[in-house]
Every structure is written in structure tokens, then in C-alpha cells.
Amino acid sequence: MRAEKKFISAEYASRLSQSPFFLVVDYRGLSVGQFGELRKRLTKAGAELHVVKNTLFRVAAKESGIADLQGALAGQLAVVTGKKDFAAAAKVLKTYQSEFEKPKLQFGYIGTQALKVDEIRAIADLPPLEQLQGKILGLLQAPAQKLVAVINTPGSQIARVLKAKSEKA
């Protein structure tokens, strides 16, 4: 492999090792303006979109220990990577695809776990991370609130009875 190709492959491998996930999309049919708009939206979600050369990306994925992508890479592909929330990036892609019918999602990985298109869409349909955390916190707090109410009930009932007796007398 030539020195330039080794450098590009090492750059791909570096991006993959720094990102907990990656998504592969076929960007055929997107205009330059549409591609730029998709990049902006992904940047807001904490992700990046990069056009890749398939053979070099295949080598980088293998070197990073992520996967052997033999046969999985074909066509004009771009890779979405990020350091934050996988679901946010998947949601941006799904929304953009519903608006413009492009880019076409191919597959993705979280760590070394392969994800199919329908699995990625299911993750994109989940509520935002903050909302899920709020729901979990609410579920954890509900039993404690009920316990406090049960413990306080007899005491408050006794107080009401004593107050009623004192008002009668």
C-alpha cells in the first residue's frame, strides 16, 4: 500500500477508535448543499460525516479490531462517527432520510456489535437520553414517595383525632 493510502487508512482507524459507534450510509443522489446540511445537523448532534474510500475503510475497520467488512462496503459511502449519543445521530439520519429520501442507511456498529437498518431505526425512535433518564429517576423515586406516605399516614391520622378532641373540649 502506498504511503498516502496508509496515512488515510490510519486516519480512518483513528476516527473509529475514538468513536463508540459508526453508521455507514450511501450518499448517492445528494447534492453538495444537501450533504452540507446533513453535516450541519449531525454536528449539532455531536457526530461527524466523512466520505470514505471503501477499500481503505475496510482495512481501517479490520485494523481497529471492529469488524471484517468484506462485501459490506459497496457504492458511494460515507461514515458517521461521534463521541456522544448514538441515538441522536441515528435520529438525525432518520429524519433527514424522511425529508429527502436520501442518504440510504446501510448498517452500523456500536463497539463491535453489528446493527442492521431496522435496529438502527428502532434506536432512532427512542426518546432523547435526558427524557429516558428522567423516566428512570421517576420510577426509582415513586416507591420511596409511597413509602413516606404510608409511614406518615398513621401519624397524621392521630394528629387529626387529637385536634378534633381538643376542639370538642
3-126 CATH, one of 3.30.70.1730, 3.40.50.720, 3.50.50.60, 3.30.2450.30: 3.30.70.1730
In sequence order, what are the residues at sequence separation of 6 or more whose Cβ sits closer than 8 angstroms to the Cβ of residue 149? none
Q: What is the mean pLDDT of each run of 10 residues along the chain (169 residues)?
A: 75 78 85 88 87 80 72 78 84 87 83 82 80 82 74 77 78
pTM for the whole structure: 0.69
Dihedral of the CA atoms 59, 24, 26, 123 (nearest 10)?
170
State the residue for C-alpha cell 431496522: 118
